[in-house]
Amino acid sequence: MKNKKNVLYSVLFMLAGVVNFPLQSQQKKGTSHSVEIKDMSTSRGPNGIVRTIKQDRKGSIWITSWEGVFKYDGKSFSNVTSKVSSARFFSVLEDKKGNFWFASIGSGVYYYDGKSFQNFTTKDGLANDRVTTIYEDKSGIIWFGTESGISRFDGKSFRNLKINEAPPVTKGDSVHVSVYQNPLPENHWIHNDINAVIEDKTGRYWLGTRGNATIYDGKTFTAITKKDGKPFTNVRSIIKDKKGNIWLGGNDGLWRYDGKTFTNFTRKFVGYIYEDKKGNIWTSSEGESSQSWVLSLYDGKSLSAKKPTVTRIANKPMIFGILEDDKGNIWFGALDGVYRYNGKTITDFKGGTAGQK
């Protein structure tokens, strides 16, 4: 069952489209360009795959999807990128200055200051135009997880890092279930395909990849291993909770690291992890069949118990990004758009009509 789920996840990732991009002219000279676009208000949210959901400091909800980047102001949706790019978007970040960064599959990274866009691609130094995750560290450095390693942007230029010097991925490459059945070769390109980045309380960076998860201390990369010495593979999500614990979700299930030991909560495939304001842990994980994923809530007060209290909230063919908004609602993405859970009912926004389920 896990194998079928991983195949589907990988196929969806490989199907993502292609697009082109540059960066901020006042920060970096080169092929970057700026395009000024006004938000186009629409009565509907995305009907396709939604990957990431974030809320900005002003309260608006940002939704990255294969139909573009949508902004929801509490009343209506705006497809912010509809006039800029047809790329499939994976991730969004509001940086410390209040500007936005959008990660796309095939078109690199888009920078948005609220009025105009700037596009950064490999022509500007980005490691790869297929970008899945964005992270800003304590010092304000922006990290972009790409298919060819990490790109760090200091506001002026990119610095690219690879876990190994494996040959780059080719069009014929794909990820089959069999690749995880045996130890992955150290020089396999899949170790450079980054899914997640987080900085821990000691200043080290945890990198989730489609290969082996790794810790980067600023000089060297070290594989993250379980007690049996086996590495964590295909880690899709990494978060740091309010207590400083690190959570990993992927092929090996859901794990928590407290600085000394790893604790396992489920062995089922976990695609996304989120901590809410009360310290509860939300996950998207494989369900009972290959056609179902589950949105689950782990009660924060029971996480130290042998059997934590887990509540199943929703079932979907797939569930991606999770967010708690400033009103306590839980948002999550699926194959067919975005949903909101208020603690009792689930609302969808297909075609702009909010329906109860």
Q: H or E element: which one contains 52? A: strand 50-55
Print pLDDT tens along the chain (357 aa). Answer: 444 445 444 444 444 333 333 333 333 333 444 434 344 445 578 999 999 999 999 999 999 999 999 999 999 999 999 999 999 999 999 999 999 999 999 999 999 999 999 999 999 999 999 999 999 999 999 999 999 999 999 999 999 999 876 556 555 445 555 556 667 666 666 888 999 999 999 999 999 999 999 999 999 999 999 989 999 999 999 999 999 999 999 999 999 999 999 999 999 999 999 999 999 999 999 988 767 899 999 999 999 998 999 999 999 999 999 999 999 999 999 999 999 999 999 998 875 444 444
Q: Which fold has domain 2-356?
A: Methylamine Dehydrogenase; Chain H (2.130.10)
Asked if residues 308 and 299 have their Cβ atoms less than 8 Å apart, the reply is yes
Give the list of residues 6+ apart from residue 206 with CB closer than 8 angstroms, or none. Answer: 196, 197, 198, 199, 200, 213, 214, 215, 224, 238, 246, 248
pLDDT of residue 81: 95
Domains of the chain, by residue range, sit at 2-356
Give the list of residues 6+ apart from residue 194 with CB closer than 8 angstroms, or none. Answer: 132, 133, 145, 146, 147, 149, 150, 207, 208, 209
pLDDT of residue 77: 93
Cβ atoms within 10 Å, residue 174: 12
pLDDT of residue 203: 95
Residue whose pair of structure tokens reads 């990431």 in the numeric block: 52
| pTM for the predicted model, two decimal places | 0.84
